Amino acid sequence: MYDIDGVLPVDAVTSVQPGTNLLVVGAPMVGKHELALELLTKGFDDGDGVLCVTTNDSVAGLTDSLSQRGASFDPDRIGIVSCSGQESSGGPSDVATEFVSSPNDLTGISIGTVKILKSFSNRNISSIRHGILSVSTLQQYLDTRTVFKFLHIYTSRVRDTDGLGIFTLHSSTRDSEVVNTLSSEFDGVIELRETADDVREVRLTGVPAAPRTWCTY
Amino acid sequence: MTQPQSRPVVLVVEDELDVADSYELWLADEYEIHRAETGEAALSKLDDFAVDVVLLDRMLPGMSGDEVLQEIRERDHACRVAMVSAIQPGIDVVELGFDGYVTKPPTREELRETIERLLARSTLDEELQEYYSLVARRSALESEFSDEELVRKADYRTLVERIETHRESIDASIPDLASDTEFVGAVREIDALSSPDDEHDGTELE
């Protein structure tokens, strides 16, 4: 089981089954990235590995964000596939890193994740939390069809390897159909929103024991 | 999945004749077998006719198996390539772009399974394409109609069932994504940058 106790404001949800894929959806700036990082780093206490595919952040920046969460942060248990195309080397030397030239190189991304998983398994780290940050950027480089196909394969990979998959996606009313289509590939969806009076709320769908109502976050 | 009218074509690239003989003996019932003893000969056969699966020995005289694979990718041949090697392959097999591998000496069953897996994968992109179209269609209906309206719509219910059937069929063609070669091979199929097939034209139901 993957411990996520206390990350979400829902007492009933303290852990998720191995092989689960969750999509974090919400408007830009509503805090999806931060929530995804919380879900990923919660596993440090249990010795889980964290494998991030980042399309935006630099390796150093992402490592920094990860290290600020979770008291038992350990660079040896982080792997990053950087595909922003902004950098091709560098980052902290103790973090396993693979560079891919562009977010549209899906084969390169998948090979990068395989290499990092290999380095985890060589060190007997078998529970892996995957972060795909973000699906929205993949969508800027690829058509929705291709992103959908990739998500089908990647979520199946997470399922078949008993991992935990955390994916982030921007939403707006304009593209609710696309969000709905992509959501179908996930076991659960975590929606984030901000009310008119600046209250942040979260709603879980497809997560066992979760209420289907908006909760203050 | 539809059965092809003719038997799938397999090219055995192997310089040891007795080894190639036994592969041919094992596989000729089910597949149309062609043989090449060198990488150069294999490439010229690939230029001449369509091949579904190449069983490529890694240690060849002249061009190595790795070089042959690279050339196959550069020439955009629409075939899947399994490496056959006595050495237990490492991560390099995935990086080089092999679609699968068989450890030498293979059993008849191992060869057959590898070929069948690669044949199934060659339809993966098309199946995912169709599956995506159905899911997109469902999303369109869901945004247009309320839940109460949808339960009364027969075409919506049919669509939901078709989606389920498609998903099961796709998951059956990628049964073991815990395998690194299977996973990268599946992604390569849908990656427009490196897919062995030509890009499909859009068949979205919008």
pLDDT digits (tens, 9 = 90+) for A15-28: 999 999 999 999 99
Q: Where are the beta strands (DSSP E) in chain A?
A: 2-3, 15-16, 20-26, 49-54, 78-82, 96-99, 128-133, 164-170, 188-194, 200-205, 215-216
Q: Are residues B13 and B107 in the same domain?
A: yes
Residue A122, chain B, CB below 8 Å: the answer is no
Separation in Å, CA of B144 to nearest CA in chain A: 10
Chain segment A43-76, per-residue pLDDT in tens: 998 999 999 999 999 999 999 999 998 678 888 9
Q: Let me know if residue A101 belongs to a domain.
A: yes
Q: Let me know if residue B55 belongs to a domain.
A: yes
Q: A183: domain CATH number?
A: 3.40.50.300
Q: Are residues B19 and B60 in the same domain?
A: yes
Q: B66: domain CATH number?
A: 3.40.50.2300
Residue A197, chain B, CB below 8 Å: the answer is no
**Average of pLDDT values for A33-52?**
94
Q: Do B95 and A178 touch (CB under 8 A)?
A: no
In chain B, residues with a C-beta closer than 8 Å to the C-beta of A126 are none
Chain segment B126-148, per-residue pLDDT in tens: 999 999 999 999 999 999 999 99
In chain A, residues with a C-beta closer than 8 Å to the C-beta of B147 are none
Separation in Å, CA of B1 to nearest CA in chain A: 18
Please report the ipTM that was assigned to this predicted complex: 0.94
Residue A145, chain B, CB below 8 Å: the answer is yes
Chain segment B52-71, per-residue pLDDT in tens: 999 999 999 999 999 999 99
Q: Are residues B156 and B167 in the same domain?
A: yes
pLDDT of residue B175: 85
Burial class (CB within 10 angstroms; exposed 0-12, middle 13-18, buried 19+) of A55: buried
Partner-chain residue, chosen from B140, B178, B193, that has the shortest CB–CB distance to A177:
B140
Q: How many domains does chain A have?
A: 1
Chain segment A148-200, per-residue pLDDT in tens: 999 999 999 999 999 999 999 999 767 889 999 999 999 999 999 999 898 99
Q: Are residues B116 and B133 in the same domain?
A: no
Residue A173 belongs to what domain range?
A: 2-23+36-134+147-209
Q: Where are the beta strands (DSSP E) in B104-202?
A: none
Residue B103 has pLDDT above 70, yes or no: yes
pLDDT of residue A63: 93
Task: Give the helix/strand (H/E) hosting B12.
Answer: strand B9-13
Residue B206 has pLDDT above 60, yes or no: no
Choosing from B73, B96, B121, the residue where a domain stops is: B121
Which one of B99, B130, B139 makes the best mutation probe of the A interface by having the most chain A beta carbons within 10 Å? B139
pLDDT of residue A155: 98
Residue B181 belongs to what domain range?
A: 124-190
| Minimum Cα–Cα distance from B195: chain A residue | A107
Q: Are residues B132 and B114 in the same domain?
A: no
Partner-chain residue, chosen from B135, B176, B183, that has the shortest CB–CB distance to A184:
B135
Number of inter-chain CB pairs under 8 A, A vs B:
89
